[in-house]
A = this chain, B = another copy of it.
């Protein structure tokens, strides 16, 4: 049997579905049996990550640890967590398990460095921005970045919450309005640093201007599964 990808998900549920869809798209399979096995624990009642970071809301850590434990016992062999903001607790989660656990912020920043991109804009939740999850790594790597100003960041967060509340059209309008304003600051690419953003912008024709963190994470997980397989064969 192929290696099993475990998804610590539900943050939000649509982002988990998006990650699963991307696993399928990134697997060169000609029949069901050639696809990669996946166990997804999608627990949307994990407390809100941004609230936990910026305003002392209930920490999501315990529920994330419980989901991780389920994945571990179910036999998952490579964990992915399709929620950028949740990576604020990555070190504690990573330390609690022996399973290979990919870090989507690291994977995405490595991609930016590998592609020689020098100027990026970070689109993410207010939690991810305030915690500096992307900024810290990009700074270390010498990549120039801009973050939205406070008003723009408020609109991005409103867009993400609109999507989570079921209003995809409003989410799209709000997100595009900020991207239009930020186009002029000379960035090469926008990091889609919240897993709702690639879904909100799914109808955006200009995919080339984005770095989709979910897609990078999934590609890394798929390639891990294959490298393991060829290593054994």
Contacts and interface: CB of A to CB of B under 8 A. Distances in A.
Interface stretch (A38-46, A102-110, A223-231): A38-46
B74 A41 contact: yes
Nearest to A43: B37
A39 B38 contact: no
B17 A32 contact: no
A44 B36 contact: yes
Interface of A: 1-2, 10-14, 16-17, 20-21, 23-24, 29-48, 70, 73-75, 161, 164-166
24 contacts: A2-B45, A10-B32, A10-B35, A11-B32, A13-B20, A16-B20, A20-B20, A31-B48, A31-B161, A31-B164, A31-B165, A32-B46, A32-B48, A33-B44, A33-B47, A34-B44, A35-B44, A36-B44, A37-B43, A39-B41, A39-B70, A40-B42, A70-B75, A73-B74
Nearest 8 pairs of A and B residues by beta carbon: A35-B44, A12-B32, A40-B40, A38-B42, A32-B44, A30-B165, A13-B35, A37-B43
